[in-house]
Every structure is written in C-alpha cells, then in structure tokens.
Amino acid sequence: MAQLTNCIAMMNEGIERVSQIIPQMPAVEARLCRLMLMVGSSLEEELEFKLKPHKLNHSDFLTLMILYSRPDGSSTPGELCEFATQGATNMTRITNALVKRGLITRGASAEDRRRVVIRITAAGKRFVQKMLPPMFPRVSAMFAGFSEADKRNLGRLLGKLAHNLDQLDPDTQP
C-alpha cells in the first residue's frame, strides 16, 4: 500500500498551490477534509485486511458486531440498515451470508409479521469472541504516542465534526 505520509506531503503542497490560484478557498478546512478522507480510507483498508482471513467484509463485521453488542443479541433488518448505514438490499445480502454461515438466524416477528427478527447465535458469539482479541494489538498500536488528552481531544473533535455533518445533511444542492 502507498505510504500515507507521502500522500499527505504531496497533498499539502497541492493545497498550497491551489489556494494561491483560488485564494477564497478555505485551505485549512479543505486540508482537514482530505486528511480525514485519507486516514479514514486507510483505516478502512486496515480493517478489511484484518477481516479478510475470517471471510468477512466491513459491513458483515459491523452487522455482526451490532448484534453482538445488543443485550438480547437481536435486531431487525431495518434497524441494522440504519446503524450500519447500509441499504436494505445490501442488508438482505449480508443477512443471507451470515445466516448461511450459522452466525445469525432469521425469524418472523410475533407482533408484526412484516418484521423479521435477526438474532446472533451461540456460534456467532463464539466467533466474535475468538476473532476480536487478535485485533487489539494493532488497534492499540494505531494510537501509540497519544496521550490521554490527545485521545479525549480527538474524540471530541470528531464528535463535533459529526454533529456539523448531520446539520449539513439537509441536502441543499450546491
């Protein structure tokens, strides 16, 4: 994979030059955007890499983890779509795949028969408990050299950014 640091150095120069041609550009903010995008996709790559041996992709994993983290280990496709930010179509596919592997079950809801209840199985829980720990060292290593204040700060700033993105969303076409 390409060195992130190189790309960043290159980007910094690029932004510098562009902001000389187009001075009204919010250069600092644009740079932060690109940084977020780069680090985000690098992180995604890293995650997919760790998931590959388990034959899972990001959405599969996320779906499974949401179920795992539920007190009762269950949810519905609609809810999973919302929290995993996936389309319904995709969630059907993910669910199919996980059911086939015996990690979750799909059942009809008693109250509302339109609804489908998805539940993690005992095998699913064991699977998560086995695959998760080997990831921990790399996760920790990502934050090497971060003080407690750094981590708090990063969390706070990302939260603020998330909030602003939510406000932005009422999609007024630019």
Q: Does residue 23 bind a copy of itself (CB under 8 A)?
A: no
Q: Does residue 123 bind a copy of itself (CB under 8 A)?
A: no
Q: In terms of DSSP H, where are the helices of 1-121? A: 4-21, 27-51, 58-68, 77-84, 88-100
d(CA 167, CA 148) in angstroms, rounded, equals 29
**Shortest CB 111 distance to a copy of itself, Å:** 22
Partner interacting with residue 57 (select from a copy of itself, DNA, none; CB below 5-8 Å by kind): DNA
Interface positions, 154-173, toward a copy of itself (CB under 8 A): 154-155, 157-169, 171, 173
Among 88, 108, 123, 132, binds a copy of itself (CB under 8 A): 132
Q: Count Cβ atoms within 10 A of the Cβ of residue 64 and give its class: 0-12 exposed, 13-18 middle, 19 or more buried.
A: buried
Q: Does residue 46 bind a copy of itself (CB under 8 A)?
A: yes
| Closer to DNA by Cβ: residue 6 or 24 | 6
Q: What are phi and psi of 33, to 5 degrees?
A: -55, -50
